[in-house]
Structures are given as structure tokens and as C-alpha cells.
Amino acid sequence: MIKIVKRDQPSKTIFFFTPVLAIFLTLVAGGLIFYILGFKPFEALKFFFIVPIADKYGLSELLLKATPLCLIAIGLSFCFKSNNWNIGAEGQLTFGAIVSGGVALLFYDQEGFYILPLVILSGAIGGMIYASIPAILKTYFNTNEILVSLMLVYVSKLILDYLVVGPWSNPEGFNFPETRQFSDSARLPLLFEGLRIHTGIFLALAAVVISWFVFYKTYLGFQMKVSGFSLKTAKYAGYKGKKMIILVFLISGACAGLAGVGEITGPIGQLHREVSPDYGFTAIIVAFLGRLHPVGIIFASLVVAITYLGAETAQIFMQIPKYTGQVFQGMILFFLLASDYLLYFKFKFIDSKK
Amino acid sequence: MIIDVNFVGLIIASIMASAVPLILASCGELITERSGVLNLGVEGMMIIGAISGFALMTVTGSLIIAVFGAMLAGVLISTIFAFLTQTLITNHVATGLALTIFGIGISAMIGKNFVGIPGKEFPVLFEGLKDTIPLLSPILFGHSIVFYFAFALPFITSYFLKKTKIGLIVRAVGDSPESASNQGINVRFVRYACILYGGAMCGLAGAYLSMIYTPQWIENMTGGRGWIALALVVFSTWNPIKILIGAMIFGGLTIIQFHMQAIGVRIPVQFLTALPYIVTIIVLVVISRDSRKIRLSTPSSLGKSFHKDN
């Protein structure tokens, strides 16, 4: 007989094993969905997960997509670790892109070494301003941060839409919903000739290192961890709860804003209607899949980035709808949450004859 | 200026029509939350209902199959949520988000073949009485059965929670699962049932959008209504009657957009579209400011997992 028993302590091995299990289960379920849709499962999975990254160009695209995911997820891990549900990173990304794009447009006909740092900084500040809204409303008005941050996503996309259609649209652009091209000084330099991967990746790597340091080597990181486990304990210990809520929101807003900067000053070089294919939402999955651990998030962002590329490739070669990417992302999170059951419970074989 | 009273009636009726999906989804979610479960997957369940209803209507030609099929689809997708949160004790917020992402993806995948197909006419009730009473006729008569159901639902829900034994059990489970469990109530079973009921109502709300309100399939056509429905539950302080008021306000904001544009008000269209979201935030702030009041009306175990050790 098999009995389910609660573990005395969550298992450490399983903590890092379940993400792998979740990815495996997602592949199995994905194959099944492809089969139901009338495709050969293995071939479809191959087009989805292997073909897109089989060459140099594909790898560059993978890193290009993984960069914003990693950056945002790192920021979100600050929030999630301390029990703050910021799910509006998409809005913070968009607002960061708007502010940095605005600064870049100010200098559209100028060159200078100072432009790019200004643009990057303004993107981070834009994201922080936008993230501070749910944070302040949560701390001083007791308002649910989930709903506020989410509503602000819709608002940010409408602000962007208004700007690129109206006041910021390119005067020589034949009414296309896009702004002027930024000057070269406002662009993040490309890493290799002919590939789209750009220096924004260093921003993501810097975020990884800094967050690792903060989480594991500072008092702040410790405070966040304690508040994540139990807000009551944190209160007893005398931590300044309100300050921390605002701080983690600002950090994650800055990261999302920087991701926005990367999107517009990288390969595109202008503001247009859709600066992000829902990176802000997908990064939530990345953060969980990476176990809110900086190194885990690097791996998770690469895995989830494949779902973006795979969806595109599968659509071109097999006419599989591109939304399969989102389905895969949802499934990864489902399976990850489900396999967490193994963290807290174990199966025990009991000899029923006794 | 003479104001045509029937025109005013028509505007009120159109506000009510746009409130219908919000009422349905909010009342469903309210029952779920009253049992202590926070399901953030409303948007995902609604969009699944929308595509299921539209697809079944197109394929089978039967409106009845389509409406009930959409509700069943809502139930099925919410079963995933119920299994994860109740049996595998996962985090409610994360699971709900996964449900929304998954739902939007699946619906777009199924909906690919249904884009651009015109909808069917949905039968309306009391059409003959449409010109009898000025002002009131357009409000009262000539709507689909789902419309009437939606406006009855808050009252039914309120009666159910306050006056019936099952309603009492639901509230007990939400307010104190430990004591409910000690009284011999199967907490997990009650929560399962409430989650599935919420799924059915969200499915119906989606079907209303794709089959009656719009009526056609457009990708992502719920457009954040699921999230507004979630906000409405907070706004109502978990009181179904207040959902009615909130839904009318948001319905009004949606309708105002069209009329403002029609009479040529020089406000950017994006601002008007953003209005419901901004108002939601403002309303949430006003409601939540009094933290004591919120704490008193929130189901005490909302969003917390309950696990009974054997």
C-alpha cells in the first residue's frame, strides 16, 4: 500500500529537481496537444525546441529574448521573496520604455557619449515611478497590489498607443504608429555584426550578480526572506515593513524599466505600439521556474525564451498557431506548482500484511 | 432641447448589457472567495467560455448546447485550478495566474479557425412589449435570457449565502475552515464545488460576450474584464448586491466612451478606454483605505491553503 506522508522538512534536493520535472512533464503534455491537433508529436517538439536554436542566429535570438525575461524575473524575485505580488511588470516595462524613449527622442538628431547612459537611467526611473504606484497604494492605502499593478498594465499600453499615434509619431512617418528612429548614440551597441543580440545582456547579468549579493550577503536580503516566510515574525523582529515593500517594488520596477530600454534601444531603435510580447507576464513564470534564485532564473529564462522562438518556428514550418507558446508557458507553471507537492509530501510504501 | 426618453432608456439598457458579463463573473468569483479560495484565473476562464460558446454555436448550430457547453468548459478549466490548489495545496495567486496565461493561449489556439465568422442572432424575450412604456420598455424588455439571469443572480446569491444551509456552510468554510472541519464538514469538497461553480459563471460570462454582446470571436476579447470582475468583488466587500452597483458603474464607463466619441468630444480615445482601469484603481483605494472594514468583510481564510492531516 502507498501512503502519502507529510515531510518533516521540505526536501532540498527536490526543491531544485522539480523545475526539471516540470519541464519534462510540459514536453509530454505538449506532445499530447500536438498529437490531438493532428501533428506528429516528436517532429512538432523538434521544431518547437531544437530547430530554433540550432544555428548561430537562433542562439543570438534566444539570448535576445532571454535577456528581458531574466532581467524582469530578477526584479520580481525581490517582490515575490518578500510576499509582494507585483504582477504588473509588463506595465513597468512599457512605462520605462516610454520614458527612456522620450529622452532618446529629445536627442534624435544629436550624437554624444552621454546620451545612452541618460536613456538607460531614465528607463529605470520610469519603471520605478510606475512600480511605486501599487507600492504606495499598498503601504498607505491598504490597496491590493495585484489588481492595481495589473490595471496599470492596460493603462501603460494605452499611454504608449496615444503617444506613438499622436504627439510623438514620426512627422515624416506617413502616419505609421511609430516614432522617429533614435540616434545611434541612444542605441545599445550590438555584440556581433549581423546578429541582433546586444549589450543589454550585460544589464541582465549585472542584475543577476547584484541580486545574488543582496539576497545572500546582506541584512536586507535576510529581512526579505523572513518577511516572505512570516510577516508576523518580521513585525516582531522590528523590520520596517512599509519601507521594504516600497523598496522591493522600486527594484523590480527598475529592472522591468531596463528591460523596456533594451527592447526599444536594441534592435528596434524607436518606439512603436508593441514594445513587448508580454515579457512582463512571462517573467513571472521565469521567476518561479528559477525558484527565485538568481542562477536558477538564468536557466529558466533560457528555457522559457525557447517557447517564444519555438512558437514562431512552429508557426512558419508547421502552421501551428503561435499561441502554443503561451499554452506551454501556462503548462510549465501548472506542472511546477503541482510538482511542489513532492516538496512537502512523500510517498511511503507500507507493507499491508503487517 | 428635447430629450427623447426612449433614447435615455436605450442608453441605460446598453449600460446594463455591458454590465452583464461583469455581474456573472463577479458573482461566481464571490462564491469561490466566500469559501476561502482566491481564484485569479477569472480572465482565463472567461476567455475559455467565450471561445467554447462561439465554437460550439458555429459547429453544432445549437445555442443551448453552446451556452451550456461554455459553462462546462469553465467548469473543466477551473477543475485544474481546484485540483492544484485543493488537492496539491499550491499557492492560489500563482495558480490563478497560470490559469489565465494558459486560458488565453488555449483560446487563441482553438479560436484561430473561428476568426471572422459572423455570430448568430440570439433570441430575445418580451420583444412585443418593447414600445409599451416610455423609458422603461427598452430597459425591461427585449433582452436575452442570460441578461435577465445576470440581474437576478446577485439577489439569488445573496439569498443563498444568507438564508440557506449550504450558504452557511460555504461561509463557515471560508471564515474558519478549522472549525468547519471539526463540525464534520468536508472543507475540500465544499471548496472544490465553489471553485467549479465560479468556473461555470465565468464560462457563461465569456459566452455572453462572444455570443450575445459582440457577437463574434475576437482574440483576447475579454480585454481585462476578468480582472475588473475580480476588483468588483473587493469593491462589493463580498456583498453580492453591491456587485450590481459596481458593475453598472463600469458598464457606464464602457458605454460613455462610445457616446463621447459619437458627439465629438475632443478627448483622445485612449484616455477614454483607460478610464475603467483608472476608475477601478481609484475605487479600490477608496474602498480599501479603511483597513478595519476590509478586514471585517474579507473571508478570513481567503487565499490560504487548508490541509487536514490524516
* Residue A342: inside a domain: no
Contact B101 A162 (CB under 8 A): no
Highest averaged pLDDT of the listed ranges A86-95, A230-239, B279-288: A86-95
CA-based nearest residue in chain B for residue A4: B310
**Residue-level pLDDT at A353:** 57
Cell of A51: 530547430
- pTM for the whole thing? 0.92
The alpha carbon of residue A309 is apart from the nearest alpha carbon of chain B, in Å, by 15
The alpha carbon of residue B214 is apart from the nearest alpha carbon of chain A, in Å, by 21
Q: Give the whole-angstrom CA distance, residue B194 versus residue B206.
A: 18
Cell of A260: 523596456
* Residue A222: inside a domain: yes
Contact B227 A341 (CB under 8 A): no
Of the candidates A270, A250, A209, the residue with the CA atom closest to the CA atom of residue A124: A250
Domain that holds residue A203: 66-319
Q: Which of B79, B277, B304 to mutate against chain A (most A CBs within 10 Å)?
A: B277
Beta-carbon count within 10 A of A203 CB: 23
* Residue A220: inside a domain: yes
User: Domain B5-297 adopts which CATH fold?
Assistant: ABC transporter involved in vitamin B12 uptake, BtuC (1.10.3470)
**Domain definitions of chain B by residue range:** 5-297
A330 touches chain B (CB under 8 A): yes
Residue A101 · residue A271 · CB < 8 Å: yes
Q: What ipTM was estimated for this complex?
A: 0.90
* Residue A121: inside a domain: yes
* Residue A284: inside a domain: yes
DSSP B86: I
* Residue A213: inside a domain: yes
Asked if the model's pLDDT at residue A298 lies above 50, the reply is: yes
- DSSP line for B248-278: HHHHHHHHHHHHHHHTT--S-HHHHHHHHHH
Task: List the CATH number of the domain containing A88.
Answer: 1.10.3470
* Residue A92: inside a domain: yes
Contact A330 B273 (CB under 8 A): no
* Residue B310 pLDDT grade (very low, low, confident, very high; cuts 50, 70, 90): very low
Q: Give the whole-angstrom CA distance, residue A305 versus residue A308.
A: 5
Q: What is the pLDDT of residues B196-209, one digit of tens each?
A: 999 999 999 999 99
Contact A338 B88 (CB under 8 A): yes
Q: Cite the DSSP H helix spans in B35-62.
A: 42-60
Q: Nearest 10 degrees: CA dihedral of B81, B85, B88, B94?
A: 90
Residue B101 · residue B113 · CB < 8 Å: no
Closest partner residue to A85 (CB to CB) among B93, B104, B273 is B93
- DSSP line for A136-203: HHHHHH---HHHHHHHHHHHHHHHHHHHHHTTTS-TTSTT-SB-PPPPGGGSPPBSSTT---BTHHHH
From chain A, pick out residues whose CB is under 8 angstroms from the CB of B266. none
Three-state DSSP class for residue B221: coil
Count up the domains in chain A and report the number.
1
Contact B109 A327 (CB under 8 A): yes
Task: Please state, in angstroms and as integers, the Cα–Cα distance from residue B107 to each residue in A95, A324, A325, B65, following that order.
Answer: 28, 10, 12, 18
The alpha carbon of residue B64 is apart from the nearest alpha carbon of chain A, in Å, by 26
From chain B, pick out residues whose CB is under 8 angstroms from the CB of A142. 288-291, 294
User: Which of these ranges, A207-216, B29-38, B141-150, B263-272, has the smallest mean pLDDT?
Assistant: B263-272
From chain A, pick out residues whose CB is under 8 angstroms from the CB of B112. 321, 323
Cell of B139: 430597459
Q: What is the pLDDT of residues B123-135, one digit of tens each?
A: 888 877 777 787 7
**Residue-level pLDDT at B19:** 96
Of the candidates B212, B178, B180, B200, the residue with the CA atom closest to the CA atom of residue B48: B200
* Residue A243: inside a domain: yes
A44 touches chain B (CB under 8 A): no
